[in-house]
Every structure is written in C-alpha cells, then in structure tokens.
Amino acid sequence: MRILTAGLLTETNTFSPIPAGWPAFGRTPIQRGAQSPFASTWEFAALVDWRERAERDGHTVVESLAAVAEPAGRVVRSVYESLRDEILRDVTNALPLDVILLYLHGAMAAEGYDDCDGDILCRCRELVGPDVIVGAEVDLHGNLSEEMVAAASVIVAYKEYPHTDMVERGADLYRLCVGAVSGNIKPVMAMRDCRMVGIWPTTNPAMRALVDEAYENERDGILSVSLMHGFPWADVPGCGAKALAISDGSQKAAEKTARRFAQRFWEIRDAAHIESVAMDEGVELALTAADGPIVLADVSDNAGGGAPGDATFLLRGLLGRGATNVVAGTYYDPIAVELCAEAGPGATLDLRIGGKLGPASGAPLDLRVTVRSIVEDHSQTAMDRSAPVALGRSAWVSVDGIDLALASIRSQVFSPDAFTGLGIPLENARLIVLKSTHHFWAGFSAIAKHAIYVSPPGALQLDFKNIAYRKRDPNYWPRVNVAP
C-alpha cells in the first residue's frame, strides 16, 4: 500500500490583529520528509505515529511537508498557497497512491480563503480521483464544512478537550483508511450542524458523559463518532458545532447517528458550557477563596486561540487590588525579556510590560521590577506530554508580591513548568493567573484547587451572543434557542 502523509495546520482567529506569515510557520521548523525525518515535536506526534505504524505494517510511506503556526489571524495568502501547492506537488509526484493522511486543524482561514481545510481536501481529491482514500485528522475546534466532508473519505476529530488524544485519534484515522483500502470496511460519513457556538471542556461532567457515549457507540457498524465543537472566533460560514458520524457502508446509519449526537450535544449545550465570570468578580472570588492555589484563566488573551498574549487588563486589576502571592504569565514580550537579560538577574529596573500588539492588549504597564532569572530556550510540557512547547528566551521578574513570567515566543500556558522552569515556586502561590482557555487544566489540575475563567477585554470574548460575525449567519445558540 502506498501512503502519503502531510500536515498543515493553524487555528485562525479572524478577529486577531496578528498575521500568520512565514515566520509564524517557521517557529516550529517546517519538516519535509524527503529531506529530514519528522522530528517528534508535539504538534507532529500524530504524523510520526502514522509513519511508524505504516512502516510496521509494511507499507510505503511518502512524507510531504508538516507545517504548523501558533494560532493567529488569517494566514497570508501567498504563504498558504505556497504550502498547499507544495503538498499538492508531492501528491502528484507520489502517484499512484492508495491513501492520503492529512493532519489538519479544521479552522484554518487565509486571506481569500474561509475554509483552507476544505480547499486542501478538494484539491487532493481532484488530483487522485474518487477511488483513493483521503483521510483527515482534525482538532475538535475545527469548523467542519460540507466541502470537507464531501471531499474526504474519512475525518476523525480529537475527542478530548484538553486535547490529550491527538495520537490516539490519528491511530483511529489510520486504521479506518487502511481498512478501507483493504476492503475490510466501507466508511460512509454524515455531518449534522448543531447550530451552536461555544466552548465545551470535556472535563465538564455532562460533556464527559457525551464523549464517553461517543466512544461507546463506535461499534455495531458505526466506525467513528466525532463531536466538533467548532472555533467561535472565526467569522466564516461554517463556524460552529457539528456532529460527524462514520458508518460501515450505510449512509442511513451514519445520518441517524450524526443526528442523534447533534441532538444530544444540543441538549447539554448549557449545562456543559464553560462557566465564566466578569473580570472583577473573578478577581474578587479568587482573592477571597478560602484555600488555594486558584487558577484564574485569562481566556480573552489565550495565544492558543490567536490572541496577542500580552494583554494587561487582568494584571492591572490585580496590581490595583494590591494582590500578593500571585504568579502570572506568560506575557509575550520579547522586548521586555531582552531588557531583563541586558540588566541581568538581581537587577531592579523600570520595565514596560505588555500592551504592545494592539487594542486587544490594553495599555502597557510601567513597573519597577526585579529580575529573578533569565532562561535561554525556555519551554513547557505540552498538554498531552508528548514533547516540549518552546517559549524562547524567558524572564522571571517580580513586582510587589507578584511573580511574572515573560516569554519571547507567543504561547498559551499548558503546564506548571512554564513557571517552575524559570525558578518561580508555585507552592506558596495563592493565585496562578494564566493565559489559556482550558488546555491548562491537564497540567494544573494536580496542584490547583479549582479554576475561575474570566473574560477581560481581548481577542477571545466569551460573550458568544455578540461576536461581530458578518459571514456566519446569526441563527445559532446562544443567539437563538431553536433546536437543529
């Protein structure tokens, strides 16, 4: 069997001011199988697993490129087209193929393209014709489109949020695609729009039960069930939650299952939704909590959702309250890190922190800080523990009982070592303030009593009724409350 693998992914926040160009795709070096075997970076773990499985099974593997960018605004058009066309060239050169395995996100948009994933899948299908199995693994935060479902043979999404099952779902996709070529199964897909926009952590009991139900239903002719949560901060027509089912040979069975899971997802939409409070209320709750540490998640400035990562609204609020025993980070501020490195550990200096990337960042904070440490090539553990996530040269500075982690690479906080790796102790912290929506919980649940989600001004507003969509139609929950 001849299998081609490729990865091209980012999550596009169309409201973000940060363009995704070559530097964004170069931060994790673009890997090209023909020249260099994929290194095991956490983003590409599923691709590495596909290669290993295929080699074990005696298949021929052709590796096209693997490219990933930290979520940001729309991908620069020429960059997207160049990366896409390289994959398409590799497909053409590798023919004849039996299987194409694509590692995508599902919510990538570029200038001129609202649905990059649909575009890639359609063009691959055009090149290989109707008989080749084209499979895609996607993030459950992908905005699944009809074009994607029509062009692909098999689509499998992560089931877990935090995403701890990227490799496992990749293995599901591999099994289904190889099984389809062998003639053991005949995957048939059906998608159902849930007409909902929101955030649903699978650590929530109601959502957990639904995900378990999805696993349990993958039998008796149902090959796969994916609950696509969608990515809310994407003004594209396909934005929102969908249910996707794959049956073995029966369109009717796939449709029935997709309809049932869309209905089940709809039923728990409110109970399973992420709970957030206003910033001031969240600060008050966190500071008056009887025991700690409490995690205060700055959802609005989650770089993992395309936000700048240097917003100061929450820190300003904490400083104003005179809060102490607080650890906060990571602030994306390479200029501040450079100044700290110049001054050196032990130095006290006037430092301008954050507020640099645009209105979503708020105003910069001018603080007199003490530099506690500088770490070159700092990193943190990924949520699935597969490999480190780079934070670049980073600094620990302290100011008035608050310890801050400043980084040179824009990233959400996944794990406690984002702080402890700089030497910042967490044992005595009353409050851990971090920039992330929910992925952090995989790493922090062991040390934090609980998490409070706040949504200060910023790029990822949790007020889903009022997201300024122009392309996504307004017929969605929580704007309207009509079952799909």
Point out which residues bind Zn ion (CB under 5 A). Answer: 139, 141
CA dist., res. 30 & res. 67, Å (int)? 5
Task: Kindly tell me which of 204 and 394 has the beta carbon lying closer to Zn ion.
Answer: 204
Q: Which of 159, 264, 252, 272 is nearest to 484 (CA)?
A: 264
Task: Kindly tell me which of 158 and 332 has the beta carbon lying closer to Zn ion.
Answer: 158
Decide: residue 146, CB within 10 A, 0-12 exposed, 13-18 middle, 19+ buried: middle
Task: Kindly tell me which of 187 and 201 has the beta carbon lying closer to Zn ion.
Answer: 201
Task: Kindly tell me which of 139 and 298 has the beta carbon lying closer to Zn ion.
Answer: 139
What's the min distance (Å) between Cβ of 201 and Zn ion? Answer: 11
Q: 3-class SS at 260?
A: helix
Check if the beta carbon of residue 311 is closer than 8 Å to that of residue 361.
yes
What's the min distance (Å) between Cβ of 205 and Zn ion? Answer: 20
What's the min distance (Å) between Cβ of 95 and Zn ion? Answer: 33
- Sign of dihedral through CA atoms 256, 257, 258, 261? positive
Q: 3-class SS at 115?
A: coil
Question: Does 478 sit behind a cis peptide bond, omega within 30 degrees of 0 on the bond before it?
Answer: yes
What's the min distance (Å) between Cβ of 85 and Zn ion? Answer: 26
Q: Which residues contact 304 (CB under 8 A, 6 or more apart)?
A: 11, 70, 71, 411, 412, 436, 437, 439
In this structure, what is the dihedral angle of CA atoms 292, 395, 297, 387, given to the nearest 10 degrees? -100
CB atoms within 10 A of CB 342: 11
Compute CA distances 363 → 104, 366, 401, 407, whole Å: 35, 10, 21, 18
Compute CA distances 208 → 229, 351, 454, 484, whole Å: 13, 44, 22, 22
Task: Kindly tell me which of 141 and 159 has the beta carbon lying closer to Zn ion.
Answer: 141
Q: 3-class SS at 289?
A: coil
Task: Kindly tell me which of 16 and 153 has the beta carbon lying closer to Zn ion.
Answer: 16
What's the min distance (Å) between Cβ of 100 and Zn ion? Answer: 23
Task: Kindly tell me which of 125 and 438 has the beta carbon lying closer to Zn ion.
Answer: 438
Task: Kindly tell me which of 141 and 378 has the beta carbon lying closer to Zn ion.
Answer: 141
What's the min distance (Å) between Cβ of 397 and Zn ion? Answer: 31
What's the min distance (Å) between Cβ of 56 and Zn ion? Answer: 29
What's the min distance (Å) between Cβ of 345 and Zn ion? Answer: 36
